[in-house]
Chains A and B, each alone.
Chain A
Amino acid sequence: DGGITQSPKYLFRKEGQNVTLSCEQNLNHDAMYWYRQDPGQGLRLIYYSQIVNDFQKGDIAEGYSVSREKKESFPLTVTSAQKNPTAFYLCASSMQTGGVHNEQFFGPGTRLTVL
């Protein structure tokens, strides 16, 4: 089955720790995205990548980092600089076809809690 997987489903972090959230897709999509979801605020874009070895900051990139070494993978690291990291994190991917608005496909999410 083609799709997007995120792991772990639940993650607990102590203050001052970095943690990495995994996102893998087998849809052969060029573009991948990371969103943060907080109650009542919808989804906010953290980072996105349109091709391998390239990525761009979204609206709330501070305290986060990403890499895109492989087309299938787009891991997100939540660093200790992120002061309020408790949230639900969603990864998405989409085809990249010029002039066509392709929908984004979402993974099941990772819920991060800071202890």
Chain B
Amino acid sequence: AQSVTQLGSHVSVSEGALVLLRCNYSSSVPPYLFWYVQYPNQGLQLLLKYTSAATLVKGINGFEAEFKKSETSFHLTKPSAHMSDAAEYFCAVSSNNAGNMLTFGGGTRLMVKP
């Protein structure tokens, strides 16, 4: 079975500070990993995805994530937070090749202080 743990349901940073959102996964097979962002009362938008091509993945809006197999982690980072980054972020793992099934973490709400 696949599972995802996001450490910290709420993260608060100052504008301009480093953003670090943590994601650890459990998988019995090589995983495919995704980060999605959700703004209030909206659907999810894909930020980036890891599909084994490269361990450092760059996404939209200046975000990137690094796949570390030894740590079973896929943490999301951004060097400098903007007010517009305030949202909820979800890490997800793909469960198998058929159906692109995803298992989601519980989400991390990012707050950005001026």
Task: Report A's interface with B, CB cutoff 8 A.
Answer: 4, 6, 31, 40-45, 48, 50, 88, 90, 92, 94-96, 98-109, 111
Contacts and interface: CB of A to CB of B under 8 A. Distances in A.
B99 A40 contact: no
Interface string B75-114: 0000000000000001000100111111011110000000
Interface of B: 9, 32, 34, 36, 41-46, 49, 51, 90, 94, 97-102, 104-107
Contact of B104 (A42, A94, A101, A108): A42
A109 B42 contact: yes
A6 B49 CA distance: 25
Nearest to A88: B41
A104 B47 CA distance: 12
B90 A42 contact: yes
A73 to B, nearest CB: 17
A50 B98 contact: yes
Contacts, number: 63
Given A43-B90, A108-B42, A109-B42, A48 B101 contact: yes
A111 B41 contact: yes
Contacts of B97: 98-99, 101
A99 B94 CA distance: 12
A106 B99 contact: no
Given A98-B97, A101-B97, A106 B45 contact: yes
The 5 A-B pairs with the shortest beta carbon distances in the complex, nearest first, are: A106-B43, A101-B32, A42-B104, A106-B44, A43-B104
